[in-house]
Every structure is written in structure tokens, then in C-alpha cells.
Structure 1
Amino acid sequence: MKDLMGMMKQAKAMQERMQSLQQEIAEVSATGQSGGGMVTMTLNGKGDMTTLAIDPSLVKPDEADILEDLVIAAHADAKTKLEVIVQEKTQELTAGLQLPGGMKLPF
């Protein structure tokens, strides 16, 4: 019974840390760029785009496809950076815990 109570306390503490982590992740952001910085965007911790900056020299009607590709590339760059941040923060939280392989937290 003592072990069960200890496990319950650990589970409650883990739940509290997970809530804290989710709040912390919601506050981080990552900025990605493409075209040598001509297209820049920022994503928040939830993956929502919060800013988009496009160099005016790229806004040409006959080159819309290039601009579209650069926006997609900047988004991919920001998303990759954001995933690294989330993974690092999750590893900090779960350090020392015995979790099953492949388990993705906090989502």
C-alpha cells in the first residue's frame, strides 16, 4: 500500500509538471527564415504563425510561385526549431523517469 501511495504522489507531481511545461511551451516562439532572410516568420509554442515578414523586392506578380515556396520554407524552418525547443523542455521535465520508448510528451 505504501508503494501505491508513493506512485500516486509521483503521478500527481508529474501532472503538475506537465501543466507547467505546457504553459511554458505556449510562451516560447521560434523564428524561421528562407531566401537568405528575405522571408521570416515566427511561430508560437502551439505552432501558430504570429508574424510574417516578406522583403518588398519579392512582391512581384510574375514571381508569386517563388514567394510561396519561400513562405513554406520559412514555416518549415520555424517549425523544426520549435520542435527542438519543445523536445528539450520535455526532456528536462522527464529526466530520470522511466517512460516507454517512443512516448511523446506533452502531446
Structure 2
Amino acid sequence: MKNPFGGIGDLGKMMAAARDMQGKVEEFQKTLETLTVTGEAGAGLVRATANAKGELKGLEIDPSIFVPSEKQVVEDLILAAIKDAQEKAVARAQSEGQRLAGDMGLPPGMKLPF
């Protein structure tokens, strides 16, 4: 006689795999908070540092650009450096997500819900 509860073992394996995947996703989210990228503008005169989630963490401005008549230039450089850091953060997060997906055996190009 066929066991009517035979499929429950498979369900248990699926649930365990789902819990494992959830743990890996949570670990991935924490990793994104610790990975940093630095965006630059004006050949490094302005640098913005962000984590891989795109949260701005620091800003460095070379003192040589503090000339009152150059206020607009400085503001533009700050915005450019922040944008550069945010773009690098997105790229780094995507790269790390692809690595995680590969580690979990997911097909290449599959996007995880982040």
C-alpha cells in the first residue's frame, strides 16, 4: 500500500530549504550594510562614501576648493560624487546578489527580491 503521507517529507525539505534561503537573504542584507563604495567628482576633490544599500556614510571635500566664488562648482561636485557613489552601490548590490543567487543554485540572471 502506498504511504498517503509520503509527500510530507518532500514538503519538509522544501520548508527547510525556504528557511535556509531566508537566512541567506537576511545575511545578504546585513552584508550590504557593511560593504562600502566611494564615488568621486572633480578628479577626487570631492568623495562620497556609501554602503552597498546606497546610504551615504561620509563626505570628504578637499579644502582647496573652498573659494566663495566657486560655491556652485562645489555644490555640483558634491552632487556628482554622491550620484557616483549611489551608482556604485547599486552595481555592488547587484553583483553581490548574483553571487548569492549562484551560491544558492539559482539560474543566472534570476533576480532575488531585494
Task: Output the TM-score relative to the length of structure 1.
Answer: 0.84
Q: 2:106 is aligned with what amino acid?
A: L
Q: 2:106 aligns with which of 94, 97, 102?
A: 97
Indicate how the Cα distance of structure 1 residues 98 and 76 shifts in structure 2: closer, same or farther if over 3 A, else same. Answer: same
Identity value in percent: 36
> How many Å separate the matches in 2 of 1:92 and 1:100?
10
CA–CA distance in 2 between the matches of 1:53 and 1:44?
Answer: 15
Structure 2: runs of 5 or more not aligned: 1-6
Moved over 3 A (4+): 98-101
How many Å separate the matches in 2 of 1:92 and 1:37?
Answer: 30
CA RMSD, 1 decimal: 2.0
Report the residue type matching 2:37 in the other structure: A
Which of 31, 43, 46 is equivalent to 2:53? 46
In the TM superposition, what are the counterparts of 1:1-107 in structure 2 within 5 Å?
A: 1=7, 2-95=9-102, 96-97=105-106, 103-105=111-113, 107=114
Report how many residues are paired: 105
- Paired position in structure 1 for 2:3: none
**How far 1:104 moved relative to its partner?**
4.8
CA–CA distance in 2 between the matches of 1:104 and 1:67?
38
Q: CA deviation at 1:22?
A: 0.9
Closer/same/farther in 2, CA of residues 93 and 43 from structure 1, 3 Å limit: same
User: Equivalents in 2 of 1:85, 1:30: separation in Å?
Assistant: 8
**TM-score scaled by structure 2?**
0.80
* Structure (1 or 2) with the larger CA radius of gyration: 2
5+ long unaligned stretches in structure 1: none
User: What SS does structure 1 have at the residue aligned with 2:91?
Assistant: helix
